[in-house]
Amino acid sequence: MGIRNLINITDLTIEELNQMMDLADDIIENPEKYYDSCRNKKLATLFFEPSTRTRLSFTAAMMELGGNVLGFSEAGSSSAAKGESVSDTIRTVGCYADIIAMRHPKEGAPIVAAEKTTVPIINAGDGGHFHPTQTLTDLLTIRREKKRLDNMVIGVCGDLKFGRTVHSLISAMLRYDNIEIHLISPEELKVPQYVKDEMDEANVKWKEVLTIEESIPELDILYMTRVQKERFFNEEDYIRLKDTYILDLKKLETAKKDLTILHPLPRVNEISTAVDDDPRAKYFTQALCGKYIRMALILTLLGLNKEV
């Protein structure tokens, strides 16, 4: 069998997703079984774009599997600053590591990397395109909270134009039965047309709304996102739109008692800190799930999942 990469969430079948989430559940329940699973294995974290949660989550995941981590956390500290191409970087790092997690500001960079790699590549986010390991995190969190991944209404709110976490989550949820999606955003930050086309092709019910209040009574999942300053071409547009949607306790008054509130983080001010103590707020639980699902992903791509 050849090298297995994860570039887009749709690279994984439903069966593979379920197996990976089952493995993550087992890691949560029986962590001691996995302490030495990746002994003498090395993960390279190549982050050409700043990150806290994703990079540290990968680092913690590999360390808890007994492996080692090397890499860099910004492009300026790598040979990319000297003009080295992504493909050359990947071919070189493949000589030193057994698996690579890469984040890059340019859409499609992980695809280029995958063409030249000699070890498994994990897309840890490419521009406004995809973020499959965040989606794995989201799916695991939803499944653990709801005990299902079908028959639900999901609201995605905020920056739906540049939000790669939203694009990946929608792509994943289209494969489950009886899913309805509410797209909550200002006109300027609507979801791209290709995502709407995907929803239409999958015969998924969806609608666009301008306020959280319009949708929140119907939602089983509310997925909040920040308005991303780094994706804007001018600061005036960012300042005008950054406070458009703020989730507070008042807006939650009409929500279901078993609503699950998610956020890929980092949060700026789109969720009031007063919401943190509401039992429906699960974004920090979600961050923890990210470590466990990345442990399961590393084991799977290295072919070690059946050996444990």
Domain-wise residue ranges, the chain: 9-130+290-301, 132-287
Q: How many helices (H) and strands (E) does the chain have?
A: 10, 9
Name the burial class of residue 166, with classes exposed (0-12), middle (13-18) and buried (19+) by CB atoms within 10 angstroms of its CB. buried
3 state SS of 100? strand
DSSP string, 35-79: TTTTTT-EEEEEESS--SHHHHHHHHHHHHTT-EEEEESSGGGSG
Q: What is the pTM of this model?
A: 0.91
State the Cα–Cα distance between residues 161 and 193, nearest whole angstrom. 9
- Which whole-number Å values give the CA distances from 69 to 45, 62, 123, 236, 282, in the listed order? 7, 7, 16, 40, 29
Residue 6 three-state SS? strand
Among 7-11, 126-130, 227-231, the least confident range: 227-231
d(CA 109, CA 88): 12
Question: Would you state the structure tokens that stand for residue 105, as one six-digit string?
Answer: 């500001």
Asked if 103 and 109 count as a contact pair (C-beta separation under 8 A), the reply is: no
CB-count exposure of residue 1 (10 Å: 0-12, 13-18, 19+): exposed
Among 224, 214, 154, 159, smallest CA distance to 186 is for 159
Residues in the chain: 308
Cα separation of 300 and 216, whole Å? 37
Q: Kindly report, residue by residue over 3-56, the tens digit of the pLDDT.
A: 899 999 999 999 999 999 999 999 999 999 999 999 999 999 999 888 888 999
**132-287, what's its fold?**
Rossmann fold (3.40.50)
Same fold, 9-130+290-301 and 132-287: yes
């500290």: which residue's tokens? 77
CB 12 within 8 A of CB 20: yes
Instruction: Return d(Cα 262, Cα 255) in angstroms, integer.
Output: 14
- Position 128 confidence tier, pLDDT thresholds 50, 70, 90: low
132 touches 9 (CB < 8 A): yes
Record the tokens describing residue 298, joined without a space. 């590393």
Q: What CA–CA distance (Å, rounded) separates 300 from 1?
A: 13
pLDDT at 106: 87
- Bridge partner list, 261: 222, 281
Average pLDDT, the chain: 90
Residue 50: which residues within 8 A CB-CB, separation 6 or more? 73, 74
9-130+290-301 adopts what CATH topology?
A: Rossmann fold (3.40.50)
How confident is the model over 31-45, as pLDDT tens digits? 999 999 999 999 999
What pLDDT shows up at residue 219? 98
pLDDT of residue 90 exceeding 60, the answer is yes
| Cis upstream peptide for 266 (omega within 30°) | yes
> What's the rounded Cα separation, in Å, for the pair 174 and 11?
14
Q: What pLDDT was estimated at residue 52?
A: 83
